[in-house]
Structure 1
């Protein structure tokens, strides 16, 4: 699906509106969470997918990353944030997060919540998220709840 696009190229992130783009996002999630990290396929794709707003990131028009937001009553839950391994470390994940936050704010939300895998907690801290609560097990992996206020819009 990807032939090592130029890592310095600009990334574009958009709300998914087509089945082809959703398929590309699901392929990225399967690659990162199931094949690379070992999550169960049944855990990766859940009922929340149907009610989520999904995002697809592209570099040189090639799908490289994804995320989803789940609208709840008083907040959005950001999840399934993934960037293909060859493209990590280039700020693409932060760009995806900013797009999720911008869309959440546009929809009237002032709070974003996520369940971060412990090993990527520092990534979310760089994006302005703060730890709330204690470490817990989710699908066999240690996670931590993190929260960010979007009252003034996303931080860029």
Structure 2
């Protein structure tokens, strides 16, 4: 497994394809909500497993805080460390940019995953694209 910072159109297309599979097809998020106006302001990440795109995520900086977004892994690649690999690469990138506070909006079913990585819940539950979420934060 290798997580790459997206540097070309093919890698970006691979990241979007994973996101579409997970969020649009699996979770029924409307495409206009999944692919949004922040794509060009984000640093994108794509995970390859044996040369095939299998995971993705993106990162933005808002008011000095790193915002981790759109973390996803294809169903067949879950439970094998793929999500951890994506998160580790994003956190490594954030630190290299001098960002020490990270936040994310976790789907409630994913809170245990992020908690194991050191994220703490800092909000009440809210709906995003019709899916229950809570905001989580971590200092790196």
Taking structure 2 as the reference length, what is the TM-score of the superposition? 0.98
Shift of 1:138: 1.1
Asked if residue 42 in structure 1 is aligned to residue 32 in structure 2, the reply is yes
Asked if residue 60 in structure 1 is aligned to residue 65 in structure 2, the reply is no
Deviations 1:98-150 (A, max 9, x none): 00000011011001100000111111111110000211111111100000001
Asked if residue 140 in structure 1 is aligned to residue 137 in structure 2, the reply is no
Report what 1:82 is aligned to: 72
In the TM superposition, 1:95-114 aligns within 5 A as 95-114=85-104
Q: Distance in 2 between matches of 1:25 and 1:107?
A: 22
- Structure (1 or 2) with the greater strand fraction: 2
**Which residue of 111, 124, 127 maps to 1:121?**
111
Question: 4+ runs of 1 displaced by more than 3 Å?
Answer: none
Shift of 1:62: 1.2
Report what 1:26 is aligned to: 16
The structure that has the greater radius of gyration is 1
Q: Which runs of 5+ in 1 are unaligned?
A: 1-10, 151-156
Q: How many pairs align? A: 140
Taking structure 1 as the reference length, what is the TM-score of the superposition? 0.88
